[in-house]
Structures are given as structure tokens and as C-alpha cells.
Amino acid sequence: MMVENNELERLYQAISWRKSVRKYRPEPLAPEVLQEVRRVACATTALDDSLAVAFSVVSPHQIKGLVSAKSPHYLALYAKGGLESLTNAAFRLQQMDLWFSAQGYGSCWLGMPNMTQELAACDGLPFVVMLAFGAPAEEAKRGSLAEFKRKALPAISTLPEADGLLEALRLAPSASNRQPWKVTGDATTLRLHIKQDGFVGKRLFGAMRYSDAGIALCHLWLSAVHAGTFAAINREVSPPDTPEGYDYFYSVALEP
């Protein structure tokens, strides 16, 4: 399981240098490495263990559509629809994005391409999204925080006192780098909200806001574990103060 704190700390450290890698060496990785990728993916931490996901390592010929990151390998993610299921699935896949980075491999989320018929479903679950991964053929790490193109903290949070914890969220990747998140709350609860899509956004990005939400929660979770203040992630029934134009997703409870 990826639950030991030193492994989570390794993933946390990768947040400050990870980047999307879109150029890969053409030679396939060794079969033992691909086996390890499958093992680690299955061992990622879930938001809720009752929500099913499946992972599959696939090859370029099994993918349909334009692929902006050509690699010998892709890690495809499968899950049912719905807010909880898709957010949980992305929460797990982001652990893999950070794991690839921590291992010295490259990776890149790919929301646009689709699967061929034979891989449209896995274990009875539909395909959602995938990560390209492999040996990088370009620099796979950022040299400094200045290389991140991101919003400033006040644009994504109403909690200046939590800036230390929220920096990991600020650096998180998102579809088209839209950074659709906003955090409200107080010293013991961080509430994650995701911007609603307009008509065009819905057509262009579909379910990708759930991926963005899962990624955001993964970074908030690792940040709170790093700070020694993580208590739980839950969905409140009547969350207060959801900003206009946003939907409430989850809360991260913190130890005082």
C-alpha cells in the first residue's frame, strides 16, 4: 500500500518539481517496470475503498484520437460516472503522476484521446482518462517554482492563514491549466469547490472537472500529511459558504 508516511512524503516532494512531459524515448520500459507500475497503481490510496477503479497499461495502437504526448506506454483509468467515483479515481491517478515523477520517469495527463473498442471498458468499468508515461526525452523536472504558470494564492483561496498548506494545491496540474479550484473554510476544515463550466466548457471538458477535483484533493491531502495535520477527507451534507459559480466537492479535516 502507498500509505506509509515516507512514501507519501516522497510524493509530496515531487509536487514542487513535477511537470507534464510530452516527449518520450521510443524504447519500451522493461516488463518488470510495467509490472511495478500496475502494482503501485492498484496500491494507491482511495478516498473511499467502496468506489471501484481499474487500471490498465496500454500501448499507442490501442488509443484513438490525437495524442499530444507520444509514448510507448499509457496508464488508462476506468471508473463509473458520478462525482464521488470520478473524483476518487483521479485522486488515485494523481498519486501515480507524482510517483512517476518521483521515480525519474515522465508522465502527462491526457483527457482528450479515447480507447479503441477492445479497451473501452475494463472490469466492467468505462474508460475515463489516462496518463502517458515513460523514460523522458526532455527535462522532466522543473528547476524552480518560478517555472510554474499558476494563479496566485488569493485567487484560489479565502484563507490566507492556510497559505503554507495551500501552496501544494496552487502548484497542481489541471485540464488546460484552468486551475478551477477555490478553497474556503477555517483552521480545522478546508472546503474544496470547483468552478462550474459554461455551455462551451461542458462540451470541451466534459467530466474533466472531476479529474481536476481529485488532483486538488490529492495535493491537499499530501500537504496536510506532510504538515502532520491531516485528519480525514469527507463530504459535508450542508457545507457553508460555497462561492457563487462554484460547486462544493469535499472537505479536508485538519487536526487543530
Ligand X SMILES: Cc1cc2nc3c(=O)[nH]c(=O)nc-3n(C[C@H](O)[C@H](O)[C@H](O)COP(=O)(O)O)c2cc1C
**Chain residues that interact with ligand X, rule: CB under 6 A:** 19-20, 22, 68-69, 108-112, 129, 173-177, 208, 211-212, 215
In the complex, what is the shortest distance from the CB of residue 169 to ligand X, in angstroms, rounded to a whole number? 13
CA distance 155 to 132: 30
DSSP codes, 28-71: PPPHHHHHHHHHHHHTSPPS-TTS-EEEEEE-GGGEES--SSB-
Q: Which is nearer to ligand X, 69 or 233 (CB)?
A: 69
Q: Which is nearer to ligand X, 177 or 188 (CB)?
A: 177
Helix (H, G, I), strand (E, B) or coil at 121: strand
In the complex, what is the shortest distance from the CB of residue 28 to ligand X, in angstroms, rounded to a whole number? 21
In the complex, what is the shortest distance from the CB of residue 185 to ligand X, in angstroms, rounded to a whole number? 23
Q: Which is nearer to ligand X, 12 or 109 (CB)?
A: 109
Is residue 148 packed enough to be buried (19+ CB in 10 Å), middle (13-18) or exposed (0-12)? Answer: middle
Q: Which is nearer to ligand X, 88 or 185 (CB)?
A: 88
CA distance 72 to 61: 9
Determine the residue type at 249.
F
Q: Which is nearer to ligand X, 155 or 232 (CB)?
A: 155
Go through 164-189 and write b for each residue having 16 or more CB atoms within 10 A of its CB, e for each that does not: ebbbbbbbbbbbeebbbbbbbbeeeb
Which residue, among 33, 53, 147, 157, has the nearest Cα to 95 in the 3D structure? 53
Q: Which is nearer to ligand X, 95 or 211 (CB)?
A: 211
